[in-house]
Amino acid sequence: MSTTLIILISTIAILLIWGIAIYNQLVALSNRYQNAFAQIEVQLKRRYDLIPNLVESAKGYLSHERETLEAVVEARNEAASALKAVGDSGIDSGSIKNLAGAESALGAAMGKLNVVMEAYPDLKASENMQQLSEELTSTENRVAFARQGFNDAVMSYNTYRQSFPNMIIGNAFGHREDAALLEFADSAAIQDAPKINFS
Amino acid sequence: MDFFREQEVARRNTRLLTALFIGAVALLIGAINLFLAYVLTSSGALDGEYSTAFQLGHLDIGVTLVVSISLIVVIGAVVLYNWIRFSQGGLSVAEALGARPAVSNTEDPHERRAQNIVQEIALAANMPVPPLYILDEEPGINAFAAGISPGDAVIAITQGAMTQLTRDELQGVVGHEFSHILNGDMRLSIRLMAMLRGITFIGDMGAVFMRSAVSHRARRSSNSSTSNTFGLLLIGLGLYLVGLLGGVMAGLIKSAISKQKEYLADASSVQFTRNPNGISDALKVIGGHTPGTLVESARAEEMSHLFFGQVKHRLWLMFATHPPLEKRIRRVDPQWNGEFITRAQNHQDAESRSNLETGISQAQRSLTAALAIATELRPEANFPNPLEASSTQINDKLAADIIEDAREPLGAMSLLLALLWQEASSQTQRTAIHKSDITGLEVLVARRGTQLQAMKPELRLPLIELCLPTLKTLSAPQYQTFKRLLIEVVKADGKVDLFEWCLYQLVRHYLDAHFVKRSSRPQHAQLKDVGSSLAVALGTLAQLSHGNTEAAFQAGARVLNLPLALPATEAMGVLPFGKAVEQLANCYPLLKVTILKALAEVAAQDGHLSPRELTLIKAIGAVMDCPLPNQMLQDTLQSR
């Protein structure tokens, strides 16, 4: 009786400890990627705040290009609300996909604006405009970098979660789904987006 | 306040703790054995193999032995597991309590203010900025520090502390937590926590048994194995009761050790902030605040000794981990009139929202000032305004931009690389950065590189310390890329100078701990074990000074009380120096103090401490896990 009891107790204890360790690691990894997303969030927000300023500065010169400007503002608002939705509902694949879509649309709209602006040398020369474009470029770089960090963090979470026996613990205690990578469908466009060529 | 003396005391307390723990475990084992013997004899579960009447003399040696050993094994396993887990750093403790990391470039003014305060105090304590964690949805005013060494320490504060306290008060609270880090209390706390977990685990196990027995019975009540489940239930109950006893003992141990430390930390907080009103007002606000310092988090109880204030209600004063508020206030502010400060909830909220913008820029200004103050450390300095002094070289706007950059991973990376920028070899460095393929880094580094050339040399170390915590948010592959890049940039001019060595060591020392698991324990108990390393370290520093190298070297050797000979010049390059310092880092804490004092002596031998010497000493201190508060360096200089 006593040996069986001891074996029983020790087995339970070891399994329990092992399970707890796996669960804690899952929590740590998921916190890590959520924190990494917070980094992107801040930079994206900064970008969305800069775009209205850019539009406002360009308005005076681009009175004939109302449509392009409106498209940019609209895409910006869409992206901002998509970002807010991710913040509110947590990072799941649906909201991330929405954000990526909105970001791509914004990238396309910004690209069009850049082409239009090429035709207005006065606008390009304005000091205000130069400052804004520098800010946007810098922010864009930070987004790219933070996104890379986020995707790395998501990948290590997913890998850990999918391995055996971690998946059993994960499935039982609320780590059922893979976290979604943030991939902008048209990343070429987003790279170009804020680059306003003043040369 | 002598931090090193306190670290030694903390180490001695650890031994006391171990003794208490062993006593408690022995008591528990005795209790369980008595209980088991009673159960086995009275229930007759084992076919009358034992006499039915319970007598102490009938304790079966074999059963007792097996039970005791298995208990020791289980408790040992639990303690070991928790020890390893908590030793992973403050991070795991913070996460266990449900704290979230503060966003490093947040727009929430409260969060921003709290982070600024942590950075300011870190600069005053001259250690890398620990990451800040926030316990959301905790209205009580409380805070804690966790982690083994300054490299992996974290500071956490509750939502209540963040919003209800004024800037000065929060500074006092954060200063209190920092002194726990510097006093070496955290190692003790973590051992305490691991051991207490081992004791209370028995009770938890009992609860599990009881529950499973009850559900077992409910499922098959008509089965013949009822006596077995009854036995399980009884064992569970016994374990649970013994666990309660263990809980009482755990509470007593905790209370005995942690009360004294709180007074000490309060006093050290005043030393950091030079403002006794900060901490005493914070304590008074807590007294007038309805939720007080209570923390709701489920696991707060077992970690209660880590916190700034009492976590649970003081039902039994015997178990209190913290001295009463009134006593703490009186120690800091003897003229206290006995009245607490009552503050309308959210009054702070409304105020700060109305001037959010000024709040942030104000915080930024004060941080810029702190940056300068952290480096202002010359005995002859007659308090020049640090901002004015530095504005000739680097203006406020730029300083604010740089601090802003340091909060964000890409910016922090670019700042560290920019510190290594050299006009002479800028082309090689640019190529290296370009090849690393990190978007936008090259432009940032090139711009900052030229700007930082104009920065005062003594501001470099604080800037590095400001950047390090942000880099902890990198992912592991990103960090590896960055480290490779750092080495390439350092080697761009074909040689490694002392500042480059310092920077690389600091990055490696504080971040490797985060990304790569490693552990080291003290090996050298006597100075003469590390004689050759000491000679190299002192000699290298002596070469930097403008006076007589030999005289400076011997001044240091006198402090160490060792007959050392100045090594040949070719034996003192950066490489041997690096190796020497790493060996010195394995000394026992009290030896490190002597070593650092000797180093300071060497540097100060020509009557003044140049920024290069200062940076080097501080960097050595950092690598040795022995942060030197500025106050302490100053004392060393003046006592000459």
Residue B323: closest CA among B155, B176, B117: B176
Q: Are residues B168 and B272 in the same domain?
A: yes
pTM, entire model: 0.68
pLDDT at B36 over 50: yes
pLDDT above 90 coverage of chain A, percent:
2
**Residue B127 structural domain:** 97-175+265-313+321-332
Residue B572 domain-assigned (yes or no): yes
Q: Give the CA dihedral B466, B467, B473, B476, nearest 10 degrees.
A: -140
**Looking at residue B379, what is its pLDDT?**
35
Provide the annotated active-site residues of B. Answer: 177
Determine, for residues B409 and A137 on separate chains, whether the beta-carbon distance falls below 8 Å: no
Of the pLDDT bands very low, low, confident and very high (cuts 50, 70, 90), residue B96 is confident
Single-letter code of the amino acid located at B558: R
Q: Are residues B168 and B297 in the same domain?
A: yes
pLDDT above 70 coverage of chain B, percent:
75
Determine, for residues A21 and B81 on separate chains, whether the beta-carbon distance falls below 8 Å: yes
Of the pLDDT bands very low, low, confident and very high (cuts 50, 70, 90), residue B222 is very low
State both tokens at B375: 């480096």
Question: Which of A27, A144, A152 comes nearest B476 by C-beta?
Answer: A152
**Looking at residue B354, what is its pLDDT?**
42
Residue B92 in contact with partner chain A when CB distance is under 8 A: yes
Determine, for residues A39 and B103 on separate chains, whether the beta-carbon distance falls below 8 Å: yes
Residue A85 in contact with partner chain B when CB distance is under 8 A: no
Residue B443 in contact with partner chain A when CB distance is under 8 A: yes
Q: Are residues B11 and B70 in the same domain?
A: yes
Lowest mean pLDDT among A33-37, A139-143, B200-204, B503-507: B200-204
| Nearest Cα residue in chain A from B47 | A1
Between vectors from CA B447 to CA B445 and to CA B453, what angle results, nearest 5°? 90
User: Which residues, 6 or more positions from B479, have their beta carbon under 8 angstroms from its beta carbon?
Assistant: B471, B511, B515
Q: Are residues B124 and B89 in the same domain?
A: no
Residue B298 in contact with partner chain A when CB distance is under 8 A: no
**Looking at residue B353, what is its pLDDT?**
45
Q: Are residues B80 and B216 in the same domain?
A: yes
Give kind and range of the element (H or E) at residue B527. Answer: none
**Looking at residue B351, what is its pLDDT?**
46
**Looking at residue B14, what is its pLDDT?**
67
pLDDT at B488 over 80: yes
Mean pLDDT of B158-166: 88
Contact residues, chain B, for A6 at CB < 8 Å: 66-67, 70
Residue B116 in contact with partner chain A when CB distance is under 8 A: no
| Nearest Cα residue in chain A from B407 | A39
C-alpha distances in angstroms, B166 versus B121, B141, B151?
A: 16, 12, 28
**Looking at residue B474, what is its pLDDT?**
83
Neighbours of B310 (CB within 10 A): 22
Distance from the B73 Cα atom to the nearest Cα atom in chain A, whole angstroms: 8
Mean pLDDT of B169-187: 84
Question: Which of A2, A41, A138 comes nearest B440 by C-beta?
Answer: A138
Measured distance CA(B385)–CA(B312) in Å, rounded: 45
**Which of A8, A10, A17, A91 to mutate to test binding with chain B, by most B CBs within 10 Å of its CB?**
A17
Determine, for residues B440 and A144 on separate chains, whether the beta-carbon distance falls below 8 Å: yes
Rg of chain B, C-alpha, whole Å: 28
Q: Are residues B400 and B474 in the same domain?
A: yes
Determine, for residues A146 and B443 on separate chains, whether the beta-carbon distance falls below 8 Å: no
Measured distance CA(B238)–CA(B608) in Å, rounded: 69
Mean pLDDT of B128-136: 86
Residue A142 in contact with partner chain B when CB distance is under 8 A: yes
DSSP track, B614-640: HHHHHHHHHHTT----HHHHHHHHHT-
Q: Are residues B134 and B275 in the same domain?
A: yes
Residue A28 in contact with partner chain B when CB distance is under 8 A: yes
**Which of B91, B105, B229 to mutate to test binding with chain A, by most A CBs within 10 Å of its CB?**
B105
Alpha helices in B561-588 (DSSP H): 574-584
Residue B352 domain-assigned (yes or no): no
Rg of chain A, C-alpha, whole Å: 24
Of the pLDDT bands very low, low, confident and very high (cuts 50, 70, 90), residue B386 is very low
Alpha helices in B528-588 (DSSP H): 531-544, 549-560, 574-584
CATH number, position B292:
3.30.2010.10
**Looking at residue A198, what is its pLDDT?**
52
Q: Which residue has the higher pLDDT, A74 or B402?
A: A74
Give B521-544 pLDDT, tens digit per residue: 667 777 778 888 888 888 888 887
Q: Are residues B456 and B371 in the same domain?
A: yes
Determine, for residues B439 and A145 on separate chains, whether the beta-carbon distance falls below 8 Å: yes
pLDDT at B435 over 60: yes
Give kind and range of the element (H or E) at residue B70. Answer: helix B61-87
Residue A20 domain-assigned (yes or no): no
Average pLDDT, chain B: 74
Residue A2 domain-assigned (yes or no): no
8 A C-beta contact, residue A127 and residue A10: no
Residue A17 domain-assigned (yes or no): no
Residue B76 domain-assigned (yes or no): yes
Determine, for residues A45 and B476 on separate chains, whether the beta-carbon distance falls below 8 Å: no
Q: Are residues B387 and B238 in the same domain?
A: no
Q: Which residue has the higher pLDDT, B398 or A48?
A: A48
Residue A145: closest CA among A182, A186, A170: A182
Give A144-193 pLDDT, tens digit per residue: 888 888 888 898 899 999 988 888 888 888 888 888 888 765 544 444 55
pLDDT at B366 over 80: no
Give B574-605 pLDDT, tens digit per residue: 778 888 888 888 887 777 778 888 888 887 77
Cα–chain center distance at B469: 13
Average pLDDT, chain A: 81
- Which range has highest mean pLDDT (A186-195, B33-42, B476-485)? B476-485
- Which range has highest mean pLDDT (A97-106, B24-33, B207-216, B579-588)? A97-106
- Burial of B447 from C-beta contacts in 10 A (0-12 / 13-18 / 19+): middle
8 A C-beta contact, residue A29 and residue A156: yes
Q: Tokens 């306003």 correspond to what residue?
A: A196
**Residue A123 structural domain:** 26-192
Lowest mean pLDDT among A167-171, B153-157, B347-351, B540-544: B347-351
**Of B477, B506, B535, which closes a domain?**
B506
Question: Which of A27, A146, A153 comes nearest B95 by C-beta?
Answer: A27
Q: Are residues B465 and B369 in the same domain?
A: yes
Cα–chain center distance at A139: 13
Give A60-96 pLDDT, tens digit per residue: 777 777 888 888 888 999 888 888 888 787 777 788 8
Please report the sign of the dihedral spanned by the C-alpha atoms of residue A114, residue A120, residue A122, residue A125: positive
Q: Give the CA dihedral A2, A4, A7, A12, nearest 10 degrees.
A: -110
Please give the tally of structural domains in chain B.
4
User: Which residues, 6 or more positions from B241, have their beta carbon under 8 angstroms from its beta carbon?
Assistant: B35, B206
Between helix B325-332 and helix B226-273 the angle, nearest 10°, is 20
Q: Are residues B156 and B239 in the same domain?
A: no
Residue B571 in contact with partner chain A when CB distance is under 8 A: no
Q: Which residue has the higher pLDDT, B302 or B32?
A: B32
Determine, for residues B410 and A146 on separate chains, whether the beta-carbon distance falls below 8 Å: yes
**Looking at residue B226, what is its pLDDT?**
60
Please give the tally of structural domains in chain A.
1
Residue B350 domain-assigned (yes or no): no
Residue B91 in contact with partner chain A when CB distance is under 8 A: yes
User: Which residues, 6 or more positions from A154, have their beta carbon under 8 angstroms from its beta carbon?
Assistant: A33, A36, A179, A180, A181, A182
Mean pLDDT of A106-130: 81
Residue B256 in contact with partner chain A when CB distance is under 8 A: no
Give B55-86 pLDDT, tens digit per residue: 555 556 777 788 788 888 888 888 888 777 76
Give B258-302 pLDDT, tens digit per residue: 777 788 788 878 877 777 788 888 888 888 877 777 776 656 666
CATH number, position A82:
1.20.1440.20
Residue A159 in contact with partner chain B when CB distance is under 8 A: no
Residues 110-129 of A with CB under 8 A from B: none
Of the pLDDT bands very low, low, confident and very high (cuts 50, 70, 90), residue B357 is very low
Residue B608 domain-assigned (yes or no): yes
C-alpha distances in angstroms, B235 versus B35, B144, B207?
A: 8, 38, 10
Per the DSSP assignment, residues forming a β-bridge with B144 are B156, B307
Residues 186-205 of B with CB under 8 A from A: 205
Question: Which of B81, B95, B235 comes nearest A31 by C-beta?
Answer: B95
pLDDT above 90 coverage of chain B, percent:
1
Q: Are residues B275 and B233 in the same domain?
A: no
Measured distance CA(B82)–CA(B292) in Å, rounded: 29
Residue A103: closest CA among A134, A123, A75, A125: A75
